[in-house]
Chain A
Amino acid sequence: MAGNGFIQVDKVSKSYQRDTIKVEVLTNISLTVPEGEFLALMGPSGSGKTTLLNLIAGIDRPDQGTVVVNTVDIDGLGESALAKWRANNVGFIFQFYNLMPVLTAYENVELPLLLTKLSKKEKKEHVETALNLVGLADRIHHYPRQLSGGQEQRVAIARALVTDPALIVADEPTGDLDKVSAEEIMTLLERLNKEFKKTIVMVTHDPRAAEKAHKVMHLDKGELTKG
């Protein structure tokens, strides 16, 4: 075990089968992330950053090793339990925002709450609070196509926050944004970490984005080094 932390990745390996070729992505990786940490994972394309992020977030499973998040060994959870765990504990931010194009900003943010037992009124309060936090209270009825890239990413952040998860994972959150929008998003993530004590694990290629993190780690050829 790699020490006591909010996230404990211990001797994890992961490979993918691409047609007849087996591609080793992560080899015997160990990592500990304390609660409230803002960690940036950097590295070249194909180095396994997103794979590691997926393992931490419970959307993929390791071939070997264990991933424990907030004392829960997520490898031991079945598909259904893992889905529930993700819904309750992890907020996701993607490079391409991944909003549902047929839903408004309000409906997109409301999505994770549909799996909860909150009343309609409570859901509305949560959604409005999240959208206020990202500065989009005046855009709640806009569809993604009616928003700029930066605004779409802020909606995605509101969606990640709305269930108040302890962990936020962000995969290249500024990768598709211009400099100004990227700066706004990083400021927002920094605020979430500082004010709301969210543990954030972020994959990025952008050194300016990584500067906002407490800690930067580099992943190359399946191995992790401190930046």
Chain B
Amino acid sequence: MFIFRLILKNALRHKLRTFLTILGICIAVTAFGFLRTIVTAWSAGVEMSSVTRMITRHKVSFIMPLPKSYREKIQAISDVDLVTYANWFGGLYKDPNDWKNFFPRMAVDPETYFDIYPEFVLSEKELLDFRKERNACIVGNKLAKEHGFKIGDIISMDGDIYPGKWDFVVRGIYKGKDETWDETQMLFQWDYLNERIAQQQPTRQGNVGWYVLRVKDQNAMPIVAREVDELFSNSRAGTKTETEKEFQQSFVSMSSAIITSLEAISYIIIGIILLILANTIAMAARERTREYAVLKTLGFSSIHIVGLIAGESLLLAGLGGALGLALTFPISAGFAKLFPTFFPIFNVEDITIILAVSVALFAGIIAATFPTSATLRTKIADGLRQIG
């Protein structure tokens, strides 16, 4: 009890120094937590991948189309349960330089897409309305809130990949099955896209961007991938089939340099936390050399001295870490609100909390190591001679 009281009193001895140290750790932990949240948000798609879904895309590049006629052939493979398809639309909504106007827009098969993706939660009526109107669209709940979309609203867009002016009628607003599902997408009928393209650019009609396969048995995925790709190996559009997780991972790996940089910065921040704290603790321990010598003279053991120095270090690290972590939540929420479609899933994950707490505690222990060791090595007689 006395040790805790003395730790607290020591920590409050130089209030400004203690405040600045805690503030420094707080800012560093906030930055660490925020960067880690970005890194996890970047990989959110990988984490929420289904274990029964596979993606078939053009073997050269994701942006190259595949014939829609492949669907029946893929569906015929014995371990494939259901096949759907989708197509990236792109388009420009209002001011394209405003990040909030960028959200995923995809043409999908209205009959099968939602069977394969039960994560989109829609009412039966919304789904029926969507299926029976050619230029109907469905938007995510978060997107609808951001732009004020309501059922019956018309969303007008300028095409870029597919030129022309495009109007879509909102016929449904989906919710994710849980908070990990992206609620910022806009989905519309592939037939609407195909019919317009058939009129404007007939050579581009009848193509889809990629296929989504639901397999009957997760263990059959390697066999399905091989069978699908062998099926089209001599076609003009060869395929690459992989699990949904691998597919998502390939997107993440495109940004690997950015992610690696963010991770590197987050590790540098750990170093900064360590230096801030180590500097404070080293100064404090040096100033108190004589006091520690007095305590040893009076019979206090090395464990007491370790407890005093490490305890103060952990106290500062813990307070700074807790405040920093507490700040990470509103800052991340603010960022998510500011850029709702940039990172559709932007939550402070449990692993980020664990990492931030661990980093603060690790820094607390390491920062105390050298001052503690130096204090314990100092002979009592030398310590008593020290002018503080």
Contact = CB atoms under 8 A, between A and B. Distances in A.
B134 interface: no
Contacts of B12: 102
A59 B291 CA distance: 14
A175 interface: no
Contact of A83 (B2, B6, B294, B300): B300
Given A83-B301, A100-B291, A59 B6 contact: no
- Most chain B CB inside 10 Å of its own CB: which residue of A54, A114, A159: A114
A87 B10 contact: no
A112 B299 contact: yes
B299 A60 contact: no
Given A60-B379, A60-B380, A103-B9, A111 B291 contact: no
A99 to B, nearest CB: 8
Contacts of A57: 297
A82 to B, nearest CB: 9
Contacts of A87: 298-299
Interface string B32-57: 00000000000000000000000000
Contacts of A112: 298-299
B381 A92 contact: no
A153 B249 CA distance: 71
Given A59-B381, A60-B381, A100 B294 contact: yes
- Most chain A CB inside 10 Å of its own CB: which residue of B296, B298, B299, B301: B299
A83 B296 contact: yes
Interface string B281-310: 000000000110011111111100000000
Nearest to A54: B381
B301 A98 contact: no
B384 interface: yes
B298 A102 contact: no
A205 interface: no
A94 B291 CA distance: 12
B94 interface: no
A103 B3 CA distance: 12
Given A98-B294, A100-B291, A102-B9, A86 B299 contact: yes
A92 B297 contact: yes
Contact of A103 (B6, B302, B380): B6
B13 interface: yes
Contacts of B379: 60
Given A54-B381, A100-B291, A115 B9 contact: no
B384 A115 contact: no
- Most chain B CB inside 10 Å of its own CB: which residue of A80, A98, A103: A98
Interface string A52-66: 001001011000000
Nearest to B379: A60
Contacts of A88: 299
A208 interface: no
A86 B10 contact: no
Given A83-B300, A112-B299, A94 B384 contact: yes
Nearest to A55: B381
Contacts of A102: 6, 9-10, 12-13
A114 B9 contact: no
A98 B10 contact: no
A79 B13 CA distance: 30
Contacts of A86: 297-299
A60 B381 CA distance: 7
B253 to A, nearest CB: 55
A54 B301 CA distance: 18
A101 B388 CA distance: 12
Nearest to B380: A59
A114 B299 CA distance: 10
Contact of A114 (B2, B291, B297, B384): B2
27 contacts: A54-B380, A54-B381, A57-B297, A59-B380, A59-B381, A59-B384, A60-B381, A83-B296, A83-B299, A83-B301, A86-B297, A87-B298, A87-B299, A92-B294, A92-B297, A92-B298, A94-B294, A98-B290, A100-B6, A100-B291, A101-B13, A102-B10, A103-B6, A103-B9, A111-B295, A112-B298, A115-B299
Interface of A: 50-51, 54, 57, 59-60, 79-80, 83-84, 86-88, 92, 94, 98, 100-103, 111-112, 114-115, 159
Interface of B: 2, 6, 9-10, 12-13, 290-291, 294-302, 379-381, 384
Given A60-B381, A101-B291, A103-B6, 15 more contacts: A51-B381, A59-B296, A60-B379, A79-B302, A80-B301, A83-B296, A86-B298, A87-B298, A87-B299, A100-B294, A102-B10, A102-B13, A111-B295, A112-B299, A115-B299
Task: List the 6 closest A-B pairs by CB distance, nearest first.
Answer: A87-B299, A102-B9, A59-B380, A98-B294, A60-B381, A83-B299
